[in-house]
Amino acid sequence: GAVVSQHPSRVICKSGTSVKIECRSLDFQATTMFWYRQFPKQSLMLMATSNEGSKATYEQGVEKDKFLINHASLTLSTLTVTSAHPEDSSFYICSAASANYGYTFGSGTRLTVV
Amino acid sequence: AQSVTQPDIHITVSEGASLELRCNYSYGATPYLFWYVQSPGQGLQLLLKYFSGDTLVQGIKGFEAEFKRSQSSFNLRKPSVHWSDAAEYFCAVGAMGSGNTGKLIFGQGTTLQVKP
């Protein structure tokens, strides 16, 4: 079956630094990748949608300059949280979509900004 | 606008008892509907999905869901719950015309607790 590898699973960074989260589809090509943010005990909030080679489409209220998304290939998308602050601490999940496998989710990244 | 409502934030059932998790959606056309399960600190696992055809959908781990257009519902059921079913459950609706690749909108989630 389809597998999406998301790294790192946990990261702690200092306030003001940047953090990159990688989402890779291992055995299929993803038409589209989605990035979600999840607060404790809450649902997934879609942050942005990215297609390979195109600029990401951000949801209303999501700062595109803060959450940089790169989708360089059909198997790799990255989310960079720039100048992170404690309020950016959250659980980030990616999802890779393909016609053959539907939506496949990564295992998530727990970001803690101290 | 698309939306998904899961009326029950938290449900507790005894092991072996039946389970029904509710999901209501708001959508302008036939939706693509999904149920996912999430264990703490983990990603999401697909339980089942509905695109078209038979309105009773079978999924993994003994789960099933029924699409009822008249009620705008897609409730998840399981005849006998196991302790390992304790987790967070999310209902989601896909964007119109998207098939497998449009964005998903998630409900608020239902936390399932299973009593021994």
- Over the stretch A87-104, which tens digit does the pLDDT of each residue have? 999 999 999 988 777 889
The minimum CA-CA distance between A14 and chain B, rounded to whole Å, is 22
The tens digit of pLDDT for each residue in A33-53 reads 999 999 888 899 999 999 888
Q: Which of B43, B108, B111 sits opposite A106 (nearest CB)?
A: B43
Instruction: Give the strand pairing for B24-26 and B3-5.
Output: antiparallel
Mean pLDDT of chain B: 90
SS3 A90: strand
Residue contact B99–A32, C-beta within 8 A: no
B44, B99, B105 member nearest A105 (Cβ): B44
Is the CB of B108 less than 8 angstroms away from the CB of A43?
A: yes
Q: Which two tokens mark B76?
A: 């998840």
Structure token pair of residue B67: 């699409």
Residue B99 has pLDDT above 70, yes or no: no
What's the rounded Cα separation, in Å, for the pair A13 and A7? 15
| SS3 label, residue B60 | helix
- Select from B100, B108, B111 the Cβ nearest to the Cβ of A103: B100
| C-alpha torsion angle, residues B108, B45, B47, B101 (rounded to 10) | 80
Chain A partners of B90 at a C-beta cutoff of 8 Å?
43-44
* Pairs of CB atoms within 8 A across A/B: 54
